Amino acid sequence: MVNDKLRDIEKDYKFCIEYLSQNNKKDQEKLKEVLKKISFYEEILGLKKQLEEIEKKIKENEEILKSEDIDLKEIAKEEIKHLKEEKEKLEENIIQLLNPPDITDEKNAIIEIRAGTGGEEACLFAADLFRMYSKYSEKKGYKIEILNSHPSELGGFKEIIFVVKGKFAYGNLKFEGGVHRVQRIPKTESYGRIHTSAATVAIFPEMEDSEVKINPEDLKIETFRASGHGGQHVNKTSSAVRITHLPTGISATCQEDRSQIKNREKAMKILRARLQNHYEKEKREKIEEERKKFVKTGDRSEKIRTYNFPQNRITDHRINYTTYNLDKIMDGEIDELIEKLKRNIIKNEKVDS
């Protein structure tokens, strides 16, 4: 984990210093690489030294707590509290340096929300989740583009797929993938009983044409008449498009627009993201087949969060975090929750990726 990585850095730092002390500096590229490493290592090792000093002070204050002097013990308690806060910040800084942001994090995010168990109530909850992410995006200055949707009878969604456009949209939202469970009294409930329903969320980075190579011959493209809500064009023109990638069997459908061309573009956008996720998942499974991860791969079978409306409570099961401000969360104020997730996940994931 982190301590092992820091020990490796100390060893490599000594090696780099030894390389510089030698007179063999003909290889300018190698020299640049070594100097860059030294600069990076010195920043991390400087933080490590500060961390060790703080840990030493914490131990000293813990010894004071064993004394019988009440005033000194109170001072020591307060000092330990501040030192532990400093220690936590330093640890976070070190972990962030050891885990630089993935370039994929900067991309737009494609989000798929599907109603799960719970019938019409699950559809309504899917719509609530869409509203939550839309409100969050609005607060962050992101833009929303709906790619495809299947509304339900009471104004919910059986499925909705959309793009969140903005820098680091994917990096901020990528841990939202999984099963979201809701506990509340449905609008359709006559006796005031609390029901449990669920919706699944999947998050993909939006990929450019050049990033996912697709052979046109591997695609089966079908057109059909749109169904559901949509105005006069519904069932009158074959504007809906389904594209299937034959080698994998992965498909994407879009009927959101009146234009077949625009629907085809949107379906390709969804397909590229799904294919990239498929290839990445295959790669991860090969590399980490036996490795148990803190956060799973975003598999939809993984229950990640419970929204309890009667108690105004939301619990994220991955980090055992509960807060009683569900009303604000549903209004898009999920920044604090996202940051807690990031910090806890980074701490528990491998740092030597």
**Blockwise average pLDDT, block size 10, the chain, 353 residues:** 76 86 72 85 90 93 89 91 91 79 84 92 95 96 92 92 93 92 84 88 83 84 72 59 91 87 89 86 59 37 86 93 95 92 65 35
Residue 242 is assigned to a structural domain of this protein = yes
Residue 353 in domain? no
* 148 and 11 together in one domain: no
Q: Does residue 243 share a domain with residue 176?
A: no
Domain boundary among 98, 121, 148: 98
Within-domain flag for 143: yes
Check: CB of residue 319 under 8 Å from CB of residue 295.
no
Looking at residue 294, its pLDDT comes to 34
Q: So what's the pLDDT on residue 348? A: 58
How deeply is 136 buried, as exposed, middle or buried, from its count of CB atoms within 10 A (0-12, 13-18, 19+)? Answer: buried
Supply the CATH number for residue 249's domain. 3.30.160.20
- Residue 274 shares a structural domain with residue 133: no
Q: Is residue 294 part of a domain?
A: no
Q: Do residues 202 and 90 both lie within one domain? A: no
Is residue 42 included in any domain, yes or no?
yes
**Res 1: pLDDT:** 54
**In the prediction, which pLDDT does 2 show?**
66
In a domain, 50, yes or no: yes
Place of tokens 């099961």: 317
The set of residues, in sequence order, having a beta carbon less than 8 Å from that of 137 and lying 6+ positions away, is 143, 144, 164, 166, 169, 332
Q: Which of 51, 73, 98 is the last residue of a domain?
A: 98
Domain match, 55 and 174 both: no
Q: What are the tokens at 287?
A: 């590399």
CATH of residue 138's domain is: 3.30.70.1660
Residue-wise pLDDT tens digits, 261-300: 889 889 988 998 888 888 877 766 654 553 343 333 333 3
The whole-number pLDDT of residue 4 equals: 73
CA distance 1 to 285: 21
Q: Which residue among 76, 98, 120 closes a domain? A: 98
Residues 304-352 have pLDDT tens digits of: 999 999 999 999 998 899 999 999 999 999 999 998 888 776 655 533 3
Residues 42 and 52 in one domain: yes
| pLDDT computed for residue 287 by the predictor | 45
* Whether residues 75 and 143 fall in one domain: no
18 Ramachandran zone, left/alpha/beta (phi>0; psi -120 to 50):
alpha
Same domain as 274, residue 243 = yes
Residue 322 belongs to what domain range?
103-210+300-348
Q: Are residues 137 and 247 in the same domain?
A: no
Q: Is 180 inside a domain boundary?
A: yes
pTM: 0.64
Residue 339 lies in a domain: yes
316 and 168 together in one domain = yes
Q: How far apart are CA 290 and CA 297, in angstroms?
A: 14
| pLDDT computed for residue 340 by the predictor | 86
Number of domains in the chain: 3
Identify the pLDDT of residue 214. Answer: 85
115 and 91 in a common domain: no
Q: Do both 191 and 142 map to the same domain? A: yes
